[in-house]
């Protein structure tokens, strides 16, 4: 049975079991609740997420050192970085523009009478100066221990660049890193094999503790976000894949199923990164030089799905409080949300912090976030799947434009790490 089928079965079984437990209305202090939901299932889900996160730092470091050591010169890196950043910013800005447009037509906040007893304590966003300074590591070991993705990327790029210029020593080190890369990729495939059990536990825990009642008065908001997410996924990405990448969107999405399902279950682009990177390199055929840079960067700064939630939420909150925003304020929302997606790299629960920044920027009450928090967990799952497919899309398009997309592998539906020669191809040779 294919891995996708097994993951889907795990998700469905988790959903059914969780919903049954929820319907039984288990006593929150009871033994069954403590032993099954908060015990076995919660532990299983957390171990799955931990096992994915465990791979992130070694994977990014090793694959990016290999990638950078194959980039011929600084100009190649500059071009790669420029194209990737431009596409990430462009897709985020179009995602939020689309969300604003649809929300202004649908009017999800008009006439809503949402009651909430949730409190929301906005976490302070880092200053712009700090954001810039935080990208540059002072200590690579600390960067890795803290999992500071942008710092790890900078260190790996510099190191890989030096490897390429260090003569015989560089050749030896490069070969060692390429071997490590193959081993870590193998480790990723081993852990992905456990994904069906992991997603089963995550789904069961979530649906055992969460009801559908919250959607009630927020249905218009909820379904507007879902609609725009689908629109972005099925119109904007395919368009970019066809126009800029000249590849089949159908094949792309068929191959991206697994990272999208894992993203949906874990609600974390960061934890999904190992699955995304393996898919992009081994299944979509993006060369390591491009994939190892674009995917970790994307998992950190590219959040189209999150931007969509913010666009709809801004309009919803403005309408709820009966505040009219001007055109220049909407433009400000687009700008702030796009920059905030870069500025909040590595901050957990990033979506709501970014939303706080956007609301403050245009003078809307930050407490408005309390209104939508009830349905945020479900939306987080869906927008994370969109975030991750956006990373894969940009990697594919940039790979194609840099002539670093192996088309034969892209169209080979059986392509996987298993039918590869010993090593993941690290150069176009
Ligand atoms: N959960 C999202 C992600 O990791 C971010 C967010 O929307 O909060 O991609």
Instruction: Output the DSSP codes for 142-189.
Output: HHHHHT-HHHHHHHHHHHHHHHHTSHHHHHHHHHHHHHHHHHHHHHHH
Ligand 1: residue of 269, 309, 342, 386 to mutate (most ligand atoms within 8 A of CB) is 269
Compute CA 31 distance to the chain's CA centroid, rounded to the nearest angstrom: 36
Grade residue 77 by pLDDT with cuts at 50, 70 and 90. Answer: confident
pTM for this model (two decimals)? 0.88
Torsions phi, psi for 156 (to 5 deg): -65, -40
Predicted pLDDT at 423: 47
Reading the block at residue 200, the tokens are: 């089963």
Reading the block at residue 182, the tokens are: 């193959």
Question: Please, is 73 exposed, middle or buried when counting C-beta atoms within 10 Å of its C-beta (0-12, 13-18, 19+)?
Answer: exposed
| Neighbouring C-alpha atoms within 13 Å toward the C-beta of 356 | 17
Q: Tens of pLDDT along 121-168?
A: 656 666 778 778 888 999 999 999 988 888 999 999 999 999 999 999
Q: Tens of pLDDT along 276-307?
A: 999 999 999 999 999 999 999 999 889 999 99
- Is 279 in contact with 65 (CB distance < 8 Å)? no
- Cβ 49 under 6 angstroms from ligand 1: no
Q: Tens of pLDDT along 244-268?
A: 999 999 999 999 999 999 999 999 9
- Cβ 350 under 6 angstroms from ligand 1: yes
- Cβ 272 under 6 angstroms from ligand 1: no
Instruction: Output the residue whose Cα is nearest ligand 1's atom 8.
Output: 351
Cα distance between residue 304 and residue 384, in whole Å? 9
Predicted pLDDT at 419: 61
- Is 273 in contact with 392 (CB distance < 8 Å)? no
- Cβ 300 under 6 angstroms from ligand 1: no
Q: E strands of 257-411, at which residues?
A: none
- Tell how far the Cα of 53 is from the centroid of ligand 1, in angstroms: 15
- Cβ 380 under 6 angstroms from ligand 1: yes
Grade residue 357 by pLDDT with cuts at 50, 70 and 90. Answer: confident
**Nearest CA-CA partner of 406 in 281, 233, 256, 258:** 281
Q: Tens of pLDDT along 21-40?
A: 888 877 767 777 777 778 89
Taking the CA of residue 272 as reference, the ligand 1 atom at the shortest distance is 4
- Cβ 387 under 6 angstroms from ligand 1: yes
Looking at the predicted structure, is the pLDDT value of residue 429 above 60? no
Class in CATH terms, 3-428:
mainly alpha
Q: Say how many residues make up the chain.
A: 429
- Tell how far the Cα of 389 is from the centroid of ligand 1, in angstroms: 13
Taking the CA of residue 305 as reference, the ligand 1 atom at the shortest distance is 7
Looking at the predicted structure, is the pLDDT value of residue 421 above 70? no
- Cβ 384 under 6 angstroms from ligand 1: yes
- Cβ 383 under 6 angstroms from ligand 1: yes
- Cβ 269 under 6 angstroms from ligand 1: yes
């Amino acid at each position: 049975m294919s891995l996708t089928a097994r993951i889907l079965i795990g998700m469905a079984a988790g959903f059914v079991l969780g919903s049954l437990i929820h319907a039984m209305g288990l006593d929150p202090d009871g033994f069954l609740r403590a032993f099954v939901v908060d015990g076995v299932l919660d532990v299983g889900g957390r171990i799955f997420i931990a096992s994915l996160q465990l791979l992130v730092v070694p994977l990014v470091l090793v694959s990016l050192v290999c990638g950078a050591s194959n980039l011929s010169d600084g100009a190649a890196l500059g071009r790669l970085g420029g194209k990737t950043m431009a596409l990430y910013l462009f897709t985020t800005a179009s995602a939020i523009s689309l969300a604003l447009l649809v929300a202004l037509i649908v009017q999800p906040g008009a006439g809503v009478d949402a009651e909430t007893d949730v409190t929301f304590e906005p976490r302070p966003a880092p200053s712009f100066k700090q954001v810039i300074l935080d990208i540059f590591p002072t200590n690579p070991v600390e960067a890795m221990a803290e999992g500071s993705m942008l710092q790890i990327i900078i260190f790996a790029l510099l190191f890989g660049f030096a490897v390429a210029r260090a003569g015989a020593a560089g050749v030896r080190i490069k070969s060692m890193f390429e071997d490590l890369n193959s081993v870590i990729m193998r480790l990723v495939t081993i852990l992905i094999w456990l994904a069906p059990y992991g997603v089963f536990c995550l789904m069961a825990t979530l649906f055992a503790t969460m009801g559908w009642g919250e959607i009630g008065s927020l249905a218009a908001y909820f379904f507007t976000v879902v609609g725009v997410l689908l629109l972005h996924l099925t119109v904007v990405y395919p368009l970019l894949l066809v126009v800029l990448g000249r590849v089949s969107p159908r094949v792309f999405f068929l191959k991206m199923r697994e990272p999208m399902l894992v993203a949906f279950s874990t609600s974390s682009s960061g934890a999904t990164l190992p699955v995304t990177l393996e898919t992009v390199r081994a299944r979509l055929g993006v060369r390591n030089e491009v994939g190892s840079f674009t995917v970790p960067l994307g998992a950190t700064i590219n959040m189209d799905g999150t931007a969509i939630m913010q666009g709809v939420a801004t309009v919803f909150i403005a309408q709820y409080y009966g505040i009219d925003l001007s055109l220049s304020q909407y433009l400000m929302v687009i700008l702030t949300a796009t920059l905030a997606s870069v500025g909040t790299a590595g901050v957990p629960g990033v979506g709501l912090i970014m939303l706080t920044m956007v609301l403050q920027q245009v003078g809307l009450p930050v407490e408005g976030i309390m209104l939508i928090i009830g349905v945020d967990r479900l939306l987080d799952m869906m927008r994370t799947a969109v975030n991750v497919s956006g990373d894969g899309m940009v990697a594919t398009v940039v790979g194609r434009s840099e002539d670093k997309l192996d088309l034969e592998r892209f169209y080979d539906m059986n392509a996987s790490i298993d039918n590869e020669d010993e090593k993941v191809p690290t150069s176009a040779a």
